Amino acid sequence: MAEAFTNYTPFYSYLLLIPARFDWLGQPLSLVKTISAVFELSCAIVAWLGFTVLTEGLLSYLMLAGSGWNMSPAYLIATGFATAMTVRLLKESQRASASS
Protein backbone atom coordinates (compact mmCIF):
# COMPACT_ATOMS: atom_id res chain seq x y z
CA MET A 1 0.00 0.00 0.00
CA ALA A 2 1.32 3.40 -0.91
CA GLU A 3 -0.47 5.38 1.80
CA ALA A 4 -1.18 4.67 5.45
CA PHE A 5 -4.86 4.21 6.18
CA THR A 6 -4.58 3.95 9.97
CA ASN A 7 -2.54 5.56 12.72
CA TYR A 8 -2.40 2.42 14.85
CA THR A 9 0.68 0.24 15.13
CA PRO A 10 0.84 -2.54 12.53
CA PHE A 11 0.37 -5.25 15.18
CA TYR A 12 -2.83 -3.69 16.46
CA SER A 13 -4.07 -3.15 12.91
CA TYR A 14 -3.59 -6.85 12.22
CA LEU A 15 -5.39 -7.70 15.46
CA LEU A 16 -8.35 -5.60 14.32
CA LEU A 17 -8.74 -7.93 11.36
CA ILE A 18 -9.67 -10.78 13.73
CA PRO A 19 -12.88 -9.21 15.12
CA ALA A 20 -13.73 -8.00 11.61
CA ARG A 21 -14.23 -11.66 10.65
CA PHE A 22 -16.75 -12.11 13.47
CA ASP A 23 -18.87 -9.01 12.92
CA TRP A 24 -22.01 -11.14 13.01
CA LEU A 25 -21.39 -12.03 16.70
CA GLY A 26 -22.12 -8.62 18.16
CA GLN A 27 -21.57 -4.90 18.14
CA PRO A 28 -18.30 -3.80 16.51
CA LEU A 29 -17.21 -1.84 19.60
CA SER A 30 -17.71 -4.90 21.82
CA LEU A 31 -15.67 -7.04 19.46
CA VAL A 32 -12.81 -4.52 19.42
CA LYS A 33 -12.89 -4.27 23.21
CA THR A 34 -12.52 -8.06 23.35
CA ILE A 35 -8.94 -7.64 22.11
CA SER A 36 -7.97 -5.53 25.12
CA ALA A 37 -9.92 -7.80 27.49
CA VAL A 38 -7.91 -10.81 26.34
CA PHE A 39 -4.64 -8.95 26.87
CA GLU A 40 -5.78 -7.63 30.28
CA LEU A 41 -6.67 -11.16 31.36
CA SER A 42 -3.32 -12.51 30.20
CA CYS A 43 -1.48 -9.70 32.04
CA ALA A 44 -3.45 -10.45 35.20
CA ILE A 45 -2.53 -14.14 34.97
CA VAL A 46 1.15 -13.31 34.47
CA ALA A 47 1.08 -10.89 37.43
CA TRP A 48 -0.62 -13.47 39.64
CA LEU A 49 1.91 -16.14 38.66
CA GLY A 50 4.77 -13.73 39.34
CA PHE A 51 3.36 -12.88 42.76
CA THR A 52 2.95 -16.56 43.57
CA VAL A 53 6.50 -17.40 42.49
CA LEU A 54 8.00 -14.48 44.44
CA THR A 55 6.07 -15.35 47.58
CA GLU A 56 7.09 -19.00 47.34
CA GLY A 57 10.70 -17.95 46.75
CA LEU A 58 10.67 -15.77 49.84
CA LEU A 59 9.11 -18.47 51.99
CA SER A 60 11.50 -21.16 50.73
CA TYR A 61 14.46 -18.88 51.46
CA LEU A 62 13.23 -18.30 55.00
CA MET A 63 12.76 -22.03 55.56
CA LEU A 64 15.95 -23.25 53.88
CA ALA A 65 18.45 -20.51 54.78
CA GLY A 66 19.21 -22.05 58.15
CA SER A 67 19.75 -25.51 56.68
CA GLY A 68 23.12 -24.69 55.12
CA TRP A 69 21.79 -23.71 51.69
CA ASN A 70 24.01 -21.14 50.01
CA MET A 71 21.48 -18.45 49.06
CA SER A 72 22.23 -14.79 48.58
CA PRO A 73 20.71 -12.25 50.96
CA ALA A 74 20.23 -10.02 47.89
CA TYR A 75 17.68 -12.57 46.67
CA LEU A 76 15.75 -12.19 49.92
CA ILE A 77 15.81 -8.41 49.65
CA ALA A 78 14.75 -8.44 45.99
CA THR A 79 11.89 -10.89 46.51
CA GLY A 80 10.75 -9.08 49.64
CA PHE A 81 10.74 -5.76 47.80
CA ALA A 82 8.85 -7.21 44.83
CA THR A 83 6.31 -8.85 47.13
CA ALA A 84 5.80 -5.64 49.10
CA MET A 85 5.31 -3.62 45.93
CA THR A 86 2.82 -6.15 44.58
CA VAL A 87 0.82 -6.13 47.80
CA ARG A 88 0.85 -2.32 47.80
CA LEU A 89 -0.37 -2.17 44.20
CA LEU A 90 -3.13 -4.67 44.96
CA LYS A 91 -4.29 -2.62 47.95
CA GLU A 92 -4.24 0.61 45.92
CA SER A 93 -6.25 -0.98 43.12
CA GLN A 94 -8.79 -2.30 45.61
CA ARG A 95 -9.12 1.16 47.16
CA ALA A 96 -9.51 2.75 43.74
CA SER A 97 -12.18 0.28 42.68
CA ALA A 98 -14.03 0.71 45.99
CA SER A 99 -14.08 4.50 45.66
CA SER A 100 -15.42 4.44 42.08
For the chain, give every domain's residue range. 26-99
pTM (two decimals): 0.46
Beta-carbon contacts of 12 under 8 Å, excluding residues fewer than 6 positions away, are: 35
**Average pLDDT of span 53-68:** 63
pLDDT tens per residue across span 5-42: 778 888 888 888 888 888 888 888 888 888 888 888 88
Query: In whole angstroms, what is the distance from residue 37 CA to residue 97 CA?
Result: 17
